[in-house]
Amino acid sequence: MYQTRTTTQTATATQAKRLASRIGAELLQVQTFYGKPDAETLNKYIAEAEMFLDAGYLRSIRYGFKKGGEVIFEVAYTAQSANGTDDKPGRVPPTAEVTGGTWFSYLTYSEPFCRLTREQQQAFKAKSPLEREAADEPQLAAGVRSAGTKHFSEDELGLYREVRLK
């Protein structure tokens, strides 16, 4: 029984690492096209996504630009069970108008994370490479539309990705 548990944990860690690398590949495209996030922050985002995916504590994570407090461009990922579709990362549109926008990232926690005690939540967050502050979820600006979706799958873990832009 111990061996099965170890194998499952290792498989989940590997799956989480592979899914997080897909996020990283797309954030690298965002960085190339729009100048954000910087390399150090990008690596922290990858490590954070891997950590939350591995533990089953990620509900969604969004990266992009806001203007006037509203989202004008984002790449959003939602954790889900794998659906058998495993698209290649990429095809982030290089044409979004982000001039004057400020970079943001917003993470939401899964139900299993919310069921942890406050102390358990704090202990888990303390391991994260990023320190996040409580904030209201960013709202989409008027005229923001979907510019493409993808599904990433690794065995039982999956991510649904949507790009939105004005």
What pLDDT, in 10s, does the model give residues 58-102? Answer: 999 999 999 999 999 999 999 998 888 888 999 999 999 999 999
CA angle in degrees (0–180, nearest 5) for 14-37-16: 10
Return the structure tokens found at 79. 């954790």
Query: CB atoms < 10 A from the CB of 128, how many?
Result: 14
* Residue 66 and residue 98 in contact, taking contact as beta carbons nearer than 8 Å: no
Which token pair is 38?
């910087």
Q: Which two tokens stand for residue 144?
A: 């923001």
Measured CA distances, 96 to 39, 48, 91, 129, 164 (Å): 21, 26, 13, 29, 9
The residue written with tokens 């990705």 in the block is: 161
At 8, the pLDDT band (50, 70, 90 cuts) reads: very low
CATH number of the domain located at residue range(s) 2-165 in this protein: 3.30.900.10
Mean pLDDT of the chain: 91
Whole-angstrom distance, CA of residue 16 vs CA of residue 156: 10
The answer to whether 165 touches 145, Cβ cutoff 8 Å, is: yes
Which element (helix H / strand E) includes 4?
Answer: helix 2-34
What is the pTM (predicted TM-score) of this model?
0.91
User: What's the gap between Cα 38 and its chain centre?
Assistant: 16
Q: Is residue 148 within 8 Å of residue 163, measured between CB atoms? A: yes
Asked if residue 162 lies in contact with residue 146, where contact means CB atoms within 8 angstroms, the answer is yes
> Over 90: is that where the pLDDT of 128 sits?
yes
Check pLDDT > 80 for residue 5: no
* Rounded mean pLDDT, 42-52: 98
Q: Specify the pLDDT at position 7.
A: 33
Stretch 39-61: mean pLDDT? 97
